[in-house]
Amino acid sequence: MKTKKFLSFIAFAFIAVALSGCTDEDYYYSPLIGDWVLVADDYGPVAPENQSIFSFYGDGSGIYTEYDWGNQYDYQITWEPNGDYLYVSFMDGQEWAYRWAIAGNMLYLTDIDTGSRLTFEMY
C-alpha cells in the first residue's frame, strides 16, 4: 500500500515538473511578431510624423505607439490572434478587432467594425 502511494506521489511530481517547463514564449509563434509601422490608410499614404507603430512580442504583450502634434505616446497592449482575426487590448479596457493578412513585409489590418483598412510595413 505504501509503495502504491509512493509511486503515485512520484508520478504526480513528475507531471508537475514536466508541465512547469512550458513558457509563455512557446505559446505564441506568429508572423505578426515584430514592429510594424503604419504606411497607409483608407485616405492614402500616411505622413512619417503621423505613423503609428504596433510592436507585437512573442509573449502576447506589446506596445502601440502613436504620434500626435510631435508628441509620442506609448500604450501597453496585449494581442491575441485567432485564425485571420487579431484582437488588441489596451490597459484602459479598450479593445480593437481586425482581420489580418500578411503579404511579403506588409501587414493589412481591416477593422471589423468599420471596414477601414490599415497598411503596415515591417519596421
Helix and strand element counts for the chain (H, E): 2, 9
CATH number of the CATH domain containing 40: 2.40.128.50
Residue ranges making up the domain that contains 34? 25-122
Q: Does any domain span residue 53?
A: yes
The tens digit of pLDDT for each residue in 65-105 reads 999 888 999 999 999 999 999 999 999 999 999 999 999 99
Q: Which three cell numbers stand for residue 50?
A: 503621423
**Domain tally, the chain:** 1
| Reported confidence tier of residue 28, pLDDT bands at 50, 70, 90 | low
Reduce the DSSP state of residue 80 to 3 states and report it.
strand
Q: Is the model's pLDDT at 7 over the cut of 50? A: no
C-alpha span between 102 and 119 (Å, rounded): 10
- What percentage of residues in the chain have a pLDDT greater than 90? 71
Helices (DSSP H) in 21-92: which residue ranges?
24-27
